[in-house]
């Protein structure tokens, strides 16, 4: 009988895949099939088995040029650290969510970190809104939920209490590039608060990453800006929480099984990964690894 558990035992996985248990052990030992070891026993994530099955049913790996081992898209402090620590040989090219989507479509990246809100529905990372409807092998995995809010100068000398205060005379607001997830979220939140973006005084130079924005606030180039809690803590600025958002990893189904991605996901299950997330602050890892979309 088919199990509905999130993780399957060896016997359950073998029955699900219609393989002999010995064959399944061999595939796991060779690193061919996704699995994890808990207290000496193998467990098989059900969603990963589904992706593995679809990948082998397609049978089209040989006909496609492999993308470069690049993680593009939005900068995330926890993801950035995990990539380095996992030893997956992924190069970081984090120029914003919109840039990551473009590179994924064009074959210029293996993986893209994205947090793009749809202004009409309030939903995140909808493939049809990102121009990804034609990508028939798109997979979206949840990385984390992150706390977004206002990054403020240490001690909050201007006593900024919310988005409406950003429109006060003399307040300078740091901003990200137009297709960055944080910039889209800022405009969404301003609209909900009925604060006109045109009423804000923006800093003359764009912040191209979370850390750049936090540094602009810390160094006095801006009084406030929208960013994640982890960047605020890392750069020593104040943080005013406004919003929880999902941060997802986008990839082609076939690339899910490549060594860099598998190493990254395996590392994310280690205790020190959760410890790092707690140290950085502003992360909810309860949905990490969940398949949000599987074309």
Query: Mind giving me the DSSP string for 242-277?
Result: EEEEEEEEEEEGGGGGSHHHHHHHHHTTSHHHHHHH
Name the residue with tokens 């005379």: 169
Main-chain dihedrals φ then ψ at residue 55, nearest 5 degrees: -60, -45
Q: What is the DSSP secondary structure assignment for residue 130, as one 8-state letter?
A: T
Whole-number Å distance between alpha carbons of 210 and 76: 7
Token pair belonging to 192: 């909900």
Per-residue pLDDT of the chain (295 residues; tens, 9 = 90+): 344 566 788 898 888 888 888 888 888 776 667 676 666 778 877 766 776 666 555 554 444 678 999 999 999 999 999 999 999 889 999 999 999 999 999 999 999 999 999 988 999 999 988 888 878 899 999 999 999 999 999 999 999 999 999 999 999 999 999 889 999 999 999 999 999 999 999 999 999 999 999 999 999 999 999 999 999 999 999 999 999 999 999 999 989 989 999 999 999 999 999 999 999 999 999 999 999 999 7
Q: What is the DSSP secondary structure assignment for residue 180, as one 8-state letter?
A: S
Number of neighbouring beta carbons within 10 Å of residue 25: 16
Whole-number Å distance between alpha carbons of 181 and 283: 17
Number of neighbouring beta carbons within 10 Å of residue 62: 5
Model pTM score:
0.79
Q: What is the DSSP secondary structure assignment for residue 117, as one 8-state letter?
A: B
């Amino acid at each position: 009988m088919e199990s509905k558990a999130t993780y399957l035992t060896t016997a359950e996985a073998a029955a699900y895949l219609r393989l002999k248990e010995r064959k399944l052990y061999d595939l796991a030992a060779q690193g061919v099939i996704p699995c994890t070891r808990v207290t000496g026993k193998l467990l098989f994530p059900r969603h990963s088995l589904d992706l593995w099955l679809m990948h082998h049913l397609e049978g089209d790996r040989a006909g496609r040029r492999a993308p470069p081992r690049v993680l593009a898209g939005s900068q995330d402090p926890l993801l950035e650290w995990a990539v380095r620590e996992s030893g997956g040989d992924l190069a970081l090219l984090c120029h914003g969510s919109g840039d990551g989507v473009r590179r994924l479509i064009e074959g210029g990246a293996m993986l893209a970190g994205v947090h793009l809100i749809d202004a009409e529905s309030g939903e995140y990372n909808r493939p049809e809104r990102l121009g990804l409807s034609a990508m028939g092998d798109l997979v979206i995995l949840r990385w984390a939920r992150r706390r977004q809010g206002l990054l403020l100068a240490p001690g909050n000398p201007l006593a900024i209490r919310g988005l409406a205060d950003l429109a006060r005379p003399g307040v300078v607001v740091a901003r990200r590039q137009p297709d960055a997830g944080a910039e889209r979220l800022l405009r969404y939140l301003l609209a909900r608060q009925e604060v006109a973006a045109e009423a804000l005084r923006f800093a003359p130079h764009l912040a191209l990453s979370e850390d750049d924005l936090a540094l602009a606030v810390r160094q006095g180039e801006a009084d406030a800006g929208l960013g994640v809690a982890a960047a605020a803590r890392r750069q020593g600025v104040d943080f005013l929480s406004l919003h929880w958002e999902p941060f997802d990893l986008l990839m082609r189904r076939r690339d899910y099984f490549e060594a860099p991605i598998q190493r990254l996901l395996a590392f994310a299950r280690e205790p020190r990964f959760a410890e790092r997330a707690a140290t950085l602050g502003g992360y909810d890892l309860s949905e990490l690894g969940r398949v949000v979309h599987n074309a």
